[in-house]
Amino acid sequence: MVITVRRRGLTAALAITMGAGLAVLGTASPAAAAPHSEQAAARQIGYTDSAKKNAAYDAEEQVNLPIGAWTGENGKIHKSRVYATFELDPFHGKRILSGTVAVRERDVVDCSKRAIEIWQTKTVTKTPSWHKAPQAVSKLDEILTNEYCPANITFDVSGAVQQAIAQGQSRITFEIRVPEQYEGDVSYGRKLYWYTSVGLHVQYNSVPELRDQHMYNGGRPCVEAQPYPHLGYFGNSLQALAVDGDEWDGTNLDYDFALWPQDDPAARTEFASPFSVPDRVATGTVPEGVLTDGRTYAWQYRVGDGADTTAWSRTCYFVYDRTAPAAPAVTSSNYPAADSGEATPLGVPGEFTFSGGGNADVAGFEYAWEMLGVPGCSYGGDVGQLVCADPLEGPNVVRADVPGGSATVRLSPPQSTYNTLRVRSLDAAGNRSGEVSYEIFAPWQGDPVISVVGAAPQWNEQVTLRFAAAAEISGTTEFEYRVDFGEPRTVAAGPDGTATIRFLASNEYGHNVTVRSHSANGWVSPETRWDLSFFPWPGVAADVYDVWEPKGGVGVPGTFTFTRPVGAEWVGLSGYEYSFDGVDFTFVAAGADGRASVTWAPQSSGYFNLEVYAVRADGTRGDYSGYHSFIVA
């Protein structure tokens, strides 16, 4: 139980219970929101004795700190003062709200008398002696009341702490004593409890700082001068950043946003962000009904932490625009529409013209074969801000030559037969019109040809592929290809319109290759695909009985060659077990190249089936068997 009374800014409290632990007044952690209170680190605490003028006594456990007078063993009067020095560096750069020195009385001679002063002295680095007491600077506070004895006592030292920090001092020293007129009167003497010792509590706050280089709206950076950006769907999203030097304030900053029409500053709307995250922008959403389409707005922000609020930031401007532009007209000078019954010319890119029809809101066009992308923004900025690309930049976007004007693009159909080009208009804010479709019919010819150079591809061996432009296509300059859906690569075409590539067939599941040819006139062919598959069973090849038609005859021998399955586990296989038409399996050893051959002569004509298993080095069979079916004449 603690009963508290306040006199002239002093606090006295009667301590009924006491704790155990280190000899400090208490510990304080940063509060959840400003302002904050923290105990300064003590760099020196001790006392002096007038009877031993050159001695200095540092504070120690179980020894209470004397102030005032007491009678020694030989009847000699001793007088003592307590000195305490504290570290101020952690508080530099903060706004100091208050400072209090706290002590607890013990061993009071006469509770009807109390007179205690606190002074600031020249800073000391170690406990001084009575004879070499530091020079007094000023008296800071005193307590002369005698209620509640013994008591917890606090002294207001705010001004001294504020001044010391303002002057850049690293430490501050206090002297606690009985006033000079009572200092020799033993009835005013008392001791300060060693356990709580002397503590300096500082209440402070770090004023938030605006980082107004990080101001965004509608996913775009702040603009202060014309031309102002036109913002559409996300135009009501304002984002800004602030920081706070106090550890816990970053999650408790209050962001205020203000927005007004540029031509009517009095129509100011202020609104708050519901939460903040350290080192991330806060988002303020303009209230519904505030923004008017086509009007120019200004905005700014400020931030508070519960104790201090910043000034308003710089001012940003934007034009709010949520009106979609008119749909475009699409025509082509050389690619007739499919409903005309005509096909597009082969090997020539199409020229398509998009027109805004004179509608000044049309700033550009977005186009794609078959399907237009879904526009969007992402919260991928370096401080978590919304990022929206310029709607008139990027792939498959072209600007109109003048507002409401036109633009022409050259495109090749992605596939043979029917292709649909979809187009929509864009305005400067990124608003999009409805889609317009233009369908064409492309001839079948024109696809490049892929062929294997050399023997049939084998697993873990190099494969060479030849690309050849279609016979109807001239002027092929290069081929654009991808292996296994990887990044596109190009290879130059030779004078004959061909090129070759090589790669290692290392994937036991097979490979795929796609290719398009590019011509000097800008035409790009449809895509051709080539697939290679490997199977998890042995391969079987035959010389005489190699096809699904009657061959050979009774007693005519044929050779059958077995090759190992794909995969690293079969590099060291021992051989193969094989059976013709289910007769007992026979083992044949593999050579160093993993191959084995057997010769077999049929004893009758008709249909036969050869089944083969690969055998591992440990003698176990593989899980899958290979088959070869044939007909003996």
pLDDT digits (tens, 9 = 90+) for 421-479: 999 999 999 999 999 999 999 998 899 999 999 988 988 889 999 999 999 999 999 99
Cβ within 8 Å of residue 610, ≥6 positions away: 540, 560, 578, 579, 580, 627, 628, 629, 630
Cβ within 8 Å of residue 308, ≥6 positions away: 34, 95, 205, 207, 208
| pLDDT number for residue 29 | 37
Task: Tell me the residue length of the chain.
Answer: 633
Q: Do the Cβ atoms of 397 and 426 come closer than 8 Å?
A: yes
Judge whether 266 lies within some domain: yes
Order of all β-strands in the sheet with 596-600: 539-542, 558-563, 596-600
The sign of the CA dihedral 398, 402, 406, 407 is negative
pLDDT digits (tens, 9 = 90+) for 526-539: 999 999 998 889 99
Query: Which of 320, 340, 363 is at the close of a domain?
Result: 320
384, burial (CB in 10 Å: exposed 0-12, middle 13-18, buried 19+): middle
| pLDDT number for residue 22 | 27
End-to-end alpha carbon distance in the chain: 113
Residues 145 and 166 placed together within one structural domain of the fold: yes
Cβ within 8 Å of residue 383, ≥6 positions away: 214, 241, 279, 280, 281
* Amino acid identity for residue 182 in this structure: Y
In 315-386, DSSP assigns E strands to: 316-320, 329-332, 350-355, 364-369
| pLDDT number for residue 35 | 86
More confident residue, 22 or 86: 86
Cβ within 8 Å of residue 479, ≥6 positions away: 448, 467, 490, 491, 493, 499, 515, 516, 517, 518
pLDDT at residue 548 tops 80: yes
DSSP string for residues in 405-420: -EEEEEE--SSSEEEE
pLDDT digits (tens, 9 = 90+) for 387-420: 998 999 989 999 999 999 999 999 999 999 999 9
Residues 497 and 402 placed together within one structural domain of the fold: no
pLDDT digits (tens, 9 = 90+) for 555-569: 999 999 999 998 888
Which CATH number is 132's domain given?
2.60.120
Q: Do the Cβ atoms of 257 and 284 come closer than 8 Å?
A: yes
Structure tokens given for 80? 């003592």
pLDDT at residue 324 tops 80: yes
User: How far, in Å, CA of 295 to CA of 432, rounded?
Assistant: 19
pLDDT at residue 269 tops 60: yes
Residues 520 and 567 placed together within one structural domain of the fold: no
3-class SS letters over 99-159: EEEEEEEECCCCCCCCCEEEEEECCCCCCCCCCCCCCEEEEEEEECCCCCCCCEEEEECHH
Judge whether 215 lies within some domain: yes
User: How far, in Å, CA of 542 to CA of 527, rounded?
Assistant: 35
Residues 46 and 175 placed together within one structural domain of the fold: yes
Structure tokens given for 463? 């494969």
User: How far, in Å, CA of 72 to CA of 76, rounded?
Assistant: 5
Banded model confidence at residue 33, pLDDT cuts 50, 70, 90: low
| pLDDT number for residue 12 | 35
Judge whether 543 lies within some domain: yes
Residues 194 and 230 placed together within one structural domain of the fold: no
Judge whether 153 lies within some domain: yes
Lowest mean pLDDT among 21-35, 107-121, 210-224: 21-35
Helix ranges restricted to H, 475-575: none
| pLDDT number for residue 6 | 28
pLDDT at residue 250 tops 80: no
475, burial (CB in 10 Å: exposed 0-12, middle 13-18, buried 19+): middle
Q: Please count the other Cβ atoms lying within 10 Å of the Cβ belonging to residue 447.
A: 20
Which CATH number is 423's domain given?
2.60.40
Residues 34 and 117 placed together within one structural domain of the fold: yes
pLDDT at residue 23 tops 80: no
Helix, strand, or coil here: 580? Answer: strand
User: How far, in Å, CA of 572 to CA of 279, rounded?
Assistant: 58
| pLDDT number for residue 261 | 98
| pLDDT number for residue 380 | 87
Residues 527 and 543 placed together within one structural domain of the fold: no
Query: Which of 320, 347, 363 is at the close of a domain?
Result: 320
Q: Do the Cβ atoms of 558 and 597 come closer than 8 Å?
A: no
pLDDT at residue 520 tops 80: yes
Cβ within 8 Å of residue 252, ≥6 positions away: 32, 33, 34, 276, 305, 306
Banded model confidence at residue 320, pLDDT cuts 50, 70, 90: very high
Q: Are strands 316-320 and 230-231 parallel, antiparallel or unpaired?
A: parallel
Q: Are strands 136-143 and 449-452 parallel, antiparallel or unpaired?
A: unpaired
Phi-psi region of 538 (alpha: psi -120 to 50; beta: other; left: phi over 0): beta
More confident residue, 276 or 24: 276
Residues 258 and 345 placed together within one structural domain of the fold: no
Phi-psi region of 574 (alpha: psi -120 to 50; beta: other; left: phi over 0): alpha
Helix, strand, or coil here: 338? Answer: helix
Judge whether 66 lies within some domain: yes
The torsion defined by the Cα of 340, 346, 351 and 354, in degrees rounded to 10, comes to 40
CA 360 to chain centre: 39
Judge whether 389 lies within some domain: no
Residues 42 and 191 placed together within one structural domain of the fold: yes
Helix, strand, or coil here: 300? Answer: strand
pLDDT at residue 4 tops 70: no
Q: Which of 83, 39, 40 is nearest to 58 (CA)?
A: 83
Residues 314 and 357 placed together within one structural domain of the fold: no
pLDDT digits (tens, 9 = 90+) for 562-621: 999 988 889 889 999 999 998 899 999 999 989 999 999 999 999 999 999 999 999 999
Q: Provide, for the chain, the percentages of residues in helix, strand and coil under a 3-state DSSP scheme, each rounded to the nearest 5.
A: 5, 45, 50
Q: Do the Cβ atoms of 464 and 454 come closer than 8 Å?
A: yes
Which CATH number is 547's domain given?
2.60.40.10
Residues 335 and 186 placed together within one structural domain of the fold: no
Number of domains in the chain: 5
Residues 53 and 96 placed together within one structural domain of the fold: yes
| Helix or strand (DSSP H, E) at 221 | strand 220-221
Judge whether 384 lies within some domain: no
Residue 607 is part of which domain span? 539-632
Banded model confidence at residue 117, pLDDT cuts 50, 70, 90: very high
Judge whether 22 lies within some domain: yes
CA 162 to chain centre: 40
pLDDT digits (tens, 9 = 90+) for 229-238: 999 999 999 9
